[in-house]
Amino acid sequence: MNQLLPYRHKSKLFENLDLLPLPNNSPWNGSIIYLDRDGVLNIGSENYINSPEELVILPDVANSIAKLKKNGFRLCIVTNQSPINRGYWGHNMLEKIHEKLISDLKKINEDAVVDLILYSPYAPFENSISRKPNPGMLMAGNVIINHSEKGEKIPNYVDLNSDYLFYEGESSAIVGDRLVDIQAGNSHGIRTFLVDPDIGLPQVIERILDKTDKGDVLQ
């Protein structure tokens, strides 16, 4: 497996996050919800989301994100975006798409704030640790959010190694609409929730908040 690191929206990968306070100044519960994008937050397409105009938020997603934030979770989007390395369009286009995502969520609910957006521009043949079903984006999210919460400068890691990871507690989870999302969560050792891409995150919001729900066990 190649140590091709993920990319981060509008920042260098291991730059400290300026984390906004959680709603009502609630304390962080120590867990992270990793969110696939297409089919979880917005309507997906077999031909990719190729422009901001094609991005449409799924119903009640913004309120679901706000509910997670109010319950003390930090949120990290982890999305495969191979069109970049396939040569369809570049990082700048993806930045515009994600800026629309951020803006549209906040217009619906001001508490619908995603803390971190990570993406993998790599094509399958590149065999990157950062492309799901591999867990690289989740590992990077763990490192970035935990160091930033603690107010510690993030080391400039040259690889992604399990020795660097922080304990996330039993409530961390990944939400995805495809088997590769579940496999990435299994590799990272967290709960996994598979959703219908026509419904997305709202389908499992109550399950995520239920600490006794161990998630979906799939091979």
| Residue with tokens 């509910």, as numbered in its chain | 67
Is 201:175 a contact under the CB 8 Å cutoff?
A: yes
For residue 4, what are the contacts with CB-CB under 8 A and spacing of at least 6?
122, 126, 128, 129, 130
Query: How far apart, in whole angstroms, are the C-alpha atoms of residue 111 and residue 107?
Result: 10
Specify the DSSP class assigned to residue 14.
Answer: T
Please give the torsion angle defined by the CA atoms of residues 89, 93, 95 and 97, in that order, rounded to the nearest 10 degrees: -110
Q: Is 36 a catalytic residue?
A: yes
Q: Is 84 helix (H, G, I), strand (E, B) or coil?
A: helix
Give me the catalytic one of 38, 104, 115, 177: 38
Give the bridge partners for 30, in sequence order.
none
Q: What is the CA radius of gyration of the chain?
A: 16
User: Among residues 36, 104, 111, 181, which one is catalytic?
Assistant: 36
Structure token pair of residue 176: 């995805």
Paired residues of 117 in beta bridges: 77
- Could you tell me the strand order of the sheet in which 191-194 lies? 7-8, 116-120, 74-80, 32-35, 173-176, 191-194
Q: List, by residue number, the catalytic residues.
A: 36, 38
